[in-house]
Amino acid sequence: MAWQTARSDATTVIPSTAVVSRRARTGRTPGSRTMTPYLFLAPFFIVYSIFLLYPVIDAFRLSFNERVGISTARFVGLENYLALLSDERYLRALLNTTLYALGSLFILSPLALLVALAVRSFVVPSLNLRSFYRVAFFLPNITSFVVIALMFGLVFDRDFGLLNAFLDAIGQPTHNWLRSETLALPSIMMVAIWTYLGINSLYFLAGLQNIPDELSEAAQLDGAGRFQVFWSITLPLLRPTILFVAIQAVIFSYQIFELPFLLTRGGPSDASLTLAVYLYEVGFQQFNQGYAAAIGYSLAMISILLAGVQLLLFRAFRDDEGAG
């Protein structure tokens, strides 16, 4: 009996001794394990705070001040924001950006849907060709904007451009595309269509792949035509993708900067001036930092408003699905 008691006591002592020896070998305390993930995350949060969070907060503060160059900031309240309402160049940039956004919504997005339907349908029957088109569609999206601007600068050239050469060959009048007040913004829209058509088509292709083929086949067996199948089956089931592409196109359209800046610098006579280009001119050419910050936050407010519209549309879509 005494031997059994001693044996049981020995067995109770051994695990605690092993735990102490393991802790001594590792040299870690229980609290150090909880700090390890934060040490790995600390570099990201430090860089994020210095290069993103602090500039955003400081720009918001600066938008309520008047500051030119390195001069001392002077608090002016809402004067910068009120000045936007009477700034003709800002209003012209807002109009141009809105027209560009409407072009992205009503021209680019439907064209992307048509291209996706063509690749998905009998127009491209081979699976290998479909894979080739997916890769080809994505290439413009990874091409540098500088390269795109140089390429289309040659296409739109008045004397040696490919577009004018084509028009001249078919007996049509040529134009000075990028120096015309009426054609500068449509020319930038054409470049944007070439640049973003492929990636939006891939979005629609992803949405089309989630629609079961059995639904279309059953409708065709019931006598429905291709247009009826598209209108009654494909389009309703593709509604989440359509909302995503449309709202994303509008939001990013209000942030367009590279194409108008590289192709026209906002000209001629502000015909292609966008909000982002005007922000660059005010902030980095005129060095009116307070007013530029107000322009930037007006862009942010427009983006937040459009994001709210997107959330409302998706919520309405979910409510309709739940009711159905």
pLDDT for residue 19 is more than 50: no
Please state the domain count of the chain: 1
Q: Is 82 a domain residue?
A: no
Q: Is 69 a domain residue?
A: no
Nearest Cα neighbor of 69 from 279, 277, 283, 278 is 283
Q: Is 62 a domain residue?
A: no
What pLDDT was estimated at residue 313? 74
pLDDT for residue 11 is more than 50: no
Q: Is 214 a domain residue?
A: yes
Of the pLDDT bands very low, low, confident and very high (cuts 50, 70, 90), residue 324 is: low
Q: Is 56 a domain residue?
A: no
What pLDDT was estimated at residue 1? 44
Helices assigned H by DSSP within the chain:
2-26, 30-48, 54-62, 79-84, 88-103, 109-120, 127-138, 145-155, 162-169, 184-209, 213-221, 226-229, 235-237, 239-253, 258-263, 275-280, 289-323
DSSP state of 254: T
Q: Is 175 a domain residue?
A: yes
- What does the pLDDT look like over 155-206, one tens digit per residue? 999 888 999 999 999 999 999 999 999 999 999 999 999 999 989 998 998 8
In the predicted model, what is the mean pLDDT of residues 101-124? Answer: 85
What residues have CB less than 8 Å from 155, skipping those under 6 apart? 161, 162, 163
What pLDDT was estimated at residue 214? 83
Of 316 and 210, the structure prediction assigns the larger pLDDT to 210
CATH number of the CATH domain containing 208: 1.10.3720.10
What pLDDT was estimated at residue 127? 66
What pLDDT was estimated at residue 7? 46
Name the average pLDDT for the chain: 83
Domain extent, residue 159, equals 87-323
Q: Is 29 a domain residue?
A: no
Of 227 and 104, the structure prediction assigns the larger pLDDT to 104
Q: Is 148 a domain residue?
A: yes
What pLDDT was estimated at residue 222? 78
pLDDT for residue 112 is more than 50: yes
| pLDDT over 90 percentage in the chain | 43
What pLDDT was estimated at residue 315? 72
Nearest Cα neighbor of 174 from 185, 163, 188 is 163
In the predicted model, what is the mean pLDDT of residues 123-137? Answer: 71
What pLDDT was estimated at residue 288? 92
- What does the pLDDT look like over 272-295, one tens digit per residue? 999 999 999 999 999 999 999 999
Question: Is omega for the bond preceding 30 within 30 degrees of 0, making it cis?
Answer: no
